[in-house]
Structure 1
Amino acid sequence: MSQANRGIYQSTEMKSWANLVNGENSKLFEPVTIGAWNLRTRTAMAPMTRCFADDLTGVVGEDVAAYYRRRAADGIGLIITEGIVVSPRGKGNPGIPGLYTQEQIEGGTKVTQAVHEEGGTIIAQIWHVGRLSHHELAGNLPPQAPSAIAAEGTVPRFRQPYDIPEAMTIADIEELIGQYAQAARNAMEAGFDGVEIHGAHGYLIDQFNSDVSNHRTDRYGGDLAQRLTLMKEVTKAVIDAIGADRTLIRFSAHKADNPTYMWEDPEMAIRTFVEAFKEVGATMIHPSIMQYTRVLADGKTMHQLVRKYWDGVIVGVGTLDPETAERALLEGTIDVAAFGRPLIANPDFIHRLKNGEELQEYDAKTQLGVLV
């Protein structure tokens, strides 16, 4: 991608975007049905950690409901919430919401009602950070992980080194799978239209996927296909709980604690993941990469490699700009384009795109701790 395209939120880029897609005639703004969801546009709000729940209870309030309402009112097709943890030990940041108590479910209901009143569709991203935590965040218990190997670095927004985690027993794993299934049922009780399983970015499920963090010798360890056992079991449990047509699964090579990590053989890894998803009956996947246009193998991007082996629904993400998203939709590489930080900075994102208006740039200094 050129330097000009990297500056995608400048007015010059918006002019080229307007010329390319002719405003409202864009593929981005076409209605689409994926799974059980009738989306108004082929756009999604990517999950972004915001940390605005009550830190003690994990309950979200009216401010969070209003935040998602504004994006729904603008016409975003699918809203994927920030990560919502499935248990107290899944917490890795202050202010993270949960979906394991009745009070948390009731807080989520405020969010779903607000989005549905605006005609929107919203799913809960269910999450467990695993070893990327600290005992003071995880109920004064050691973080959980496939193996007792600490991550390098410090906990974001907490500024303490990652703790040495506790290697999970088979009983722990069985409990975890049940927690994911229950969180999915709780999401439906709260009125969410479905869930996304966060199996990416070096969090607990992805820690089992990786030979860096998984040194197990039981059936949850071994080569990549074998290490995907937990991901498969969680996905199957969630599908059994709420249906494949309401279950999205996110995966990646990227690790929050090791941003430069990449699979040794990306195409082989992607094919292995896709085979695992097919095995358990998944129909919708969300491949995640930091830069959508990055070529991984055989002249193809991650999403193009995924499409080579997968004919189900693909949600595309990776610092997408409108022009790249439009082309990916037109060529059939992805079915829905997800945008992240532009939707923090621009609650009226869809309106601005349709009218060729300049987008505001995301500014972490002023917008990281603010809900707009």
Structure 2
Amino acid sequence: MNQIKTKLFEPVTIGAWDLKTRTAMAPMTRSFADDKTGVVNDLTVEYYRKRAQDGIGLIITEGVVISPRAKGNPGVPGLYTQEQINGWKKVTEAVHAESGTIIAQIWHVGRASHHEIAGGLPPQAPSPFAAEGKVSRFGKPFDIPEEMTETDIAEVVNQYAQAAKNAMEAGFDGVEIHGAHGYLIDQFNSDTSNKRTDRYGGDLKQRLTFMKEVLTAVIDTVGVDRTLIRFSALKIDQPSYMWEDPESAIQTFIEAFKETGVKMIHPSTMEFTKPIARGLTMHELVRRHWDGVIFGVGGLDAETAEDALKKGTIDVAAIGRPLIANPDYLARIKQDKKLVDYEAKKHLIQLV
């Protein structure tokens, strides 16, 4: 093995998971499920099996929606019907047969949708303001969402908990809550999409109330050692968005995480090595205030991942697009073989 990558290939126990390496497969929307039923197919089974076979420590699935109304792209899978659960069982069984570990990323897109996708109903959101832009792989502008009532909020919190329960029935080893990128949880977190005046609105600390309720409900369902939360400043409809004071915002998020008892967090950025405040990157700022488990993501390659792991900035390195193009990513890194370049048009239409 190339000695420069010794940390990357180190086995580690994270939460309830005994991982073969300090690597994760980052969640990446593929839209290969049946569009009407949200059920995954045999190609999806093989897609995840190959990454487990390669030795990826933790596979985090593509976003899996928690209800029909949570859907924001054609062809995304669900985890709210028995048929969907049964479909995912084939995936988890294949991954476990390769001694792999896999968790489901449970997802509600909120206002980042259109009524033709979201079960004929308007999208749900904290406030009735449309996202900017168009629905990915659908092409129509985001709809004006319906402002959620407190009853709606309680129902969606229960849907997250039920999806987590369904994930365990499907054989997953845990869940990641998608709280990033301008989707529903992040819409509550953000001052640009949350204009509420009740207990779910206000300053950042107060806006994190919904996120904390979801986290608490999921932890109560599957356990803290099987729960991961992803968060970010980045938003799909505001790619240049950044908190006014990044370190203060991160501190506020971390205080909220500590309140719920969550132990594993997944800060998300597009550029892992880019400083965002005080000359520090997002993950360096998070590490300054958080001594629990950190998953790193954001255009990582083997060298930057190894360096961050050695420094202790992160505990697990999540790899994204290179894993789509290279099912044998880790084998290639070990052997110092050239990686296949990711090509969007090619790799969006092929399950390699």
TM class, shorter-length? over 0.9
Q: Which amino acid aligns with 2:3?
A: N
1:320-351 CA-partner distances (Å, limit 9, x unpaired)? 11111101000000000000000000000000
Match of 2:60 among 41, 55, 80: 80
Residue in structure 2 matched with residue 5 of structure 1 by the alignment? none
1:347 is matched with 327
Alignment of 1:30-179 (within 5 A): 30-179=10-159
Other structure's SS at 1:366 match:
helix
- The aligned runs of 1:270-349 (5 Å cut-off) are 270-349=250-329
Match of 1:263 among 243, 267, 284: 243
Given candidates 205, 211, 235, the residue that maps to 1:231 is: 211
Q: Aligned partners of 1:88 and 1:139: how far apart in 2?
A: 6
Partner of 1:196: 176
Match of 1:33, SS state, is strand
1:12 counterpart residue number? none
Cα distance, 1:104 vs structure 2: 0.3
Looking at structure 1, the residues matched to 323 and 294 of structure 2 have their Cα atoms a distance apart, in angstroms, of 20
Give the aligned partner of residue 3 of structure 2: 22
Instruction: Find the aligned partners of 1:79 and 1:50 in 2 and give their Cα distance.
Output: 14
Q: CA deviation at 1:365?
A: 1.6
1:133, distance to aligned residue in structure 2 (A) = 0.2
Q: What residue in structure 1 maps to residue 188 of structure 2?
A: 208
Instruction: Give secondary structure in 2 for the equivalent of 1:315.
Output: strand
Match of 1:83, SS state, is strand
Provide the residue aligned with 1:8 in structure 2.
none
CA-to-partner distance for each residue in 1:183-226, whole Å, 9 max, x for gaps? Answer: 00000000000000000000000000000000000000000000
Shift of 1:99: 0.4
Quote the Cα distance in structure 1 between the aligned partners of 2:328 and 2:38. Answer: 28
Task: Tell whether 2:232 aligns with 1:252.
Answer: yes
Q: Secondary structure at the match of 2:262?
A: coil
Equivalent position to 2:342, from 345, 358, 362: 362
Task: Determine the C-alpha separation between the residues in 2 that align with 1:367 and 1:248.
Answer: 27
Q: Shift of residue 125 of structure 1?
A: 0.1
Aligned-partner SS, 1:28: coil
Whichever residue aligns with residue 174 of structure 1, its letter is A
Q: How far 1:297 moved relative to its partner?
A: 1.3
* Rounded Cα–Cα distance in structure 1 between residues aligned with 2:239 and 2:99: 36
Shift in Å, 1:61: 1.1
Q: How many residues align?
A: 352
Compute the RMSD of aligned alpha carbons: 0.8
Partners in 1 of 2:176 and 2:60 — Cα distance? 7
Give the TM-score, by structure 2 length: 0.99
Take 2:340 and 2:250, find their aligned partners in 1: how far apart are those partners?
35
SS at match of 1:115: helix
What whole-Å deviation, never above 9, does each CA across 1:109-131 have from its counterpart, x for those lacking one?
00000000000000000000000
TM-score w.r.t. structure 1 length? 0.94
- The letter of the residue matching 2:300 is L
Q: Which amino acid aligns with 1:92?
A: G
List per-residue Cα deviations over 1:132-158 (Å, max 9, x = no partner). 000000010000000000011100000
Distance 2:298 2:254 in 1: 19
Q: Which amino acid aligns with 1:224?
A: L
d(CA) in 2 for partners of 1:205, 1:196: 13
User: Aligned equivalents of 2:304 and 2:54: distance in 1?
Assistant: 21
> Any gaps of 5 or more consecutive residues in structure 1?
1-17
Give 1:22 deviation, angstroms: 2.1
- The alignment partner of 1:29 has SS state of coil
Q: 1:239 and 1:367 mapped to 2: Cα distance?
A: 35
Over 2 Å off, 4+ runs: none
- For 1:4, the equivalent position in structure 2 comes to none
For residues 300 and 262 of structure 2, the distance between their equivalents in structure 1, rounded to whole angstroms, comes to 25
In structure 1, distance between residues paired with 2:92 and 2:65: 17
